[in-house]
Chain A
Amino acid sequence: EAGVVQSPRYKIIEKKQPVAFWCNPISGHNTLYWYRQNLGQGPELLIRYENEEAVDDSQLPKDRFSAERLKGVDSTLKIQPAELGDSAVYLCASSLSQGDGYTFGSGTRLTVV
C-alpha cells in the first residue's frame, strides 16, 4: 500500500512568487491534514479536511494561503504571494478518522529567497 504521497519534495522560490503543494492521502482515509513545521519545532496545523469539507482552518493565514480537496481525495495547498517567513517543511497527513494516529507524507521543504 502506498503511503501519503507529496510533491514536490523540495521547492525554492523567490519571495512574492506563488507556490503550490500537492498531496495524495492513503486510499480510504477520509481525514486529511496540512501541517507546517519550522526547524526545531513541532508541526503546526494549517487545515483539516473531513472528506471534501474543511472542518478546521482556524490556523490558516487566509490572506495568502488557500487549500482545496475537491473530490475528497487529493489536496492542494497554495501560497500566493510567498514571504521569507514561509520557509518551512509542509507536511500532509491522513487518517481513517479523527481518532486514529496520522500517517505523514515525506513533506515539501520550501525555501523562499
Chain B
Amino acid sequence: GQNIDQPTEMTATEGAIVQINCTYQTSGFNGLFWYQQHAGEAPTFLSYNVLDGLEEKGRFSSFLSRSKGYSYLLLKELQMKDSASYLCAVRDSGGYQKVTFGTGTKLQVIP
C-alpha cells in the first residue's frame, strides 16, 4: 500500500515563493506526479519526477528525493490565479502500476 502526506492548507503572498511538501511511503516507487486543481474543476498535470533532483518548468519546479520519500513543488512569483489545491500522486512499481493521490494542499494566495 501507499501512504502520502501533504499539508492541508497553506497561505502565501502574491509575488512570493511557496514550497509545498509531500512525503510518501510505498512498497515500490515508480514516479511522482504533481497536479493543480482549481475549485470545482478537474486536476491538471504539472510535473512528473522519477529520478532524484529538481525539474524546472517556468514558475513551477518539482524536486524528488527517493531515499527520503520526499518531494516538493516550488511556486515562484505567485499570482492570484495560483490559488488552488495541489495534489501529490505516487505510482508504485507493482503489476498494476497504480497511481495513488494525496488529499491535496489548498493554497490561498493573498494580495
Contact = CB atoms under 8 A, between A and B. Distances in A.
Nearest to A100: B48
B103 A42 contact: yes
Interface string A35-49: 000001111110010
Interface string B80-109: 000000010100000011111111100000
Contacts of B104: 40-42
B43 A104 contact: yes
A105 B97 contact: no
A107 B97 CA distance: 23
A42 B99 contact: no
Nearest to A56: B96
A57 B107 CA distance: 32
Interface in A48-89: 48, 55-56, 58
Given A43-B43, A55-B96, A101 B101 contact: no
A40 B97 CA distance: 25
Contacts, number: 43
A56 B42 contact: no
The majority secondary structure among interface residues of chain A is loop
B97 A42 contact: no
Contact of B42 (A40, A55, A99, A104): A104
Contacts of A44: 101
7 tightest A-B contacts by CB? A42-B101, A101-B45, A104-B42, A56-B96, A43-B101, A42-B103, A98-B97
21 contacts: A40-B103, A41-B103, A42-B89, A42-B100, A42-B101, A42-B102, A42-B103, A43-B87, A43-B101, A45-B98, A45-B99, A45-B100, A48-B96, A91-B42, A98-B97, A99-B31, A101-B45, A101-B48, A102-B99, A103-B45, A107-B42
